[in-house]
Amino acid sequence: MEKVKVGVIGCGRISGIYLKTCTQVFDILDVVACADLVPELAQTQAQEYGVPRACTAEELLADPEIEIVVDLTVPWAHPEVNRAIRNAGKHVYTEKPFALTAEDADSVLDLAREKGLRVGSAPDTFLGGGLQTCRKLIDDGAIGTPYAASGLILMRGPYGTARPNFQSFLQLGWDPL
């Protein structure tokens, strides 16, 4: 089976989970480029996960071999970044939230339909170890047939050094709000 060429825009905290999973777990994916507003961050992630090229978002979107772009930018950038991805004629998979307003969501879907593109969005970090373990247990039949599920996550607030400016954590689109 021919591998699907993938580009990643946004090389911050969450990108490690995505890059590790996309490069080491899913044989059908070939991550060929990553981009970030901070070039050194893209370069670091590219080196760590064996991605052949770190570049700008514009260069990534102009690459004709890339079919799918994973948007891991900050939430309030999703509408603009996702619009650019679709305008470049590429499928998009975006981290949550999918959109910040109903109008943004309609815009994403309308342009995707117009161009014949697919749009996907994370309900959570589904590529991480916890949810992948759950998926494997279900796929293997280890817990029978699930009919319903619920979950709970607790955290103490801003974590790590992903957002040194605490105020950015409280902007529209972040999880606590």
Q: What is the tally of structural domains in the chain?
A: 1
Which single residue is written with the structure tokens 């373990």?
133
37 occurs within a structural domain: yes
17 occurs within a structural domain: yes
97 occurs within a structural domain: yes
10 occurs within a structural domain: yes
Domain that holds residue 114: 4-121
Angle (deg, nearest 10), helices 39-49 and 15-24: 30
Tokens at 149, concatenated? 């599920």
101 occurs within a structural domain: yes
Q: Residue 73: what pLDDT?
A: 92
CA angle 43, 49, 53 (to 5 degrees): 45
115 occurs within a structural domain: yes
135 occurs within a structural domain: no
Parallel, antiparallel, or unpaired for β 29-35 and 68-71?
Answer: unpaired
User: Coil, strand, or helix at residue 76?
Assistant: helix
For the chain, the residue count is 177
List per-residue pLDDT tens for the chain, 177 residues long: 899 999 999 999 889 999 999 999 888 999 999 999 999 999 999 999 999 999 999 999 999 999 999 999 988 888 889 999 999 999 999 988 778 888 888 988 898 999 999 998 886 565 667 778 888 899 999 999 989 888 776 666 555 445 455 455 455 555 443
Q: Residue 151: what pLDDT?
A: 74
Alpha carbon 81 to chain centroid, angstroms: 12
CATH number for the domain spanning 11: value is 3.40.50.720
Parallel, antiparallel, or unpaired for β 54-55 and 68-71?
Answer: unpaired
Tokens at 84, concatenated? 């650019």
- pTM of the predicted protein model: 0.73
Tokens at 130, concatenated? 């916890």
User: Coil, strand, or helix at residue 77?
Assistant: helix
154 occurs within a structural domain: no
